[in-house]
Amino acid sequence: MPDALRIRPAQPQDLDAVEALARACFGASAWSRAQWAAIPPQRLLVAVAPLLTCAGYVAMQWLADEAEVESLAVQEEFRRQGVGQALLAAGLEAAHAAGVRQVFLEVRESNAAARAFYQRSGFHLAGRRPGYYHRPLEAALLLRALI
């Protein structure tokens, strides 16, 4: 991860940039600002640069000993520099500190790059959800990691 970036809990002033990044990465399926605002700060982490509000983010939810990575995105110019890995690691660390022992996520079946990223991060195939994604209609692979 570039030295100038740091990861911290999201603040209200980050939400516009988070929403814009999600919209750029996920199009029509991106969450609304209200949905982003509803996530507790310790479960929405951002990677920030001095002149860029948000280089990337990870959003997670957890209950008892299970968590879900709900969304992770990195600005194009910061990809393949360890930002996504650092965000995921920080999110998993926060979840583990809260008592989480296993983490799930869904990924498009066709998204080979994301599947490889999560596999390198310790996630393994746990199931398949046909028709989970829309635009285009596609199955999701359910991945799981023990932490």
- Out of 118, 132, 133, 138, the active site residue is 118
Residues 74/56, Cβ–Cβ less than 8 Å = yes
CB atoms within 10 A of CB 128: 12
Q: How many CB atoms lie within 10 A of CB 109?
A: 16
In this structure, are residues 135 and 28 in contact, taking their beta carbons and an 8 Å threshold?
yes
**Is 66 an active-site residue?**
no
Residue 57 falls in the annotated catalytic set:
no
Task: Say which of 66, 106, 109, 138 is annotated catalytic.
Answer: 106
Q: Which residues are catalytic?
A: 106, 118
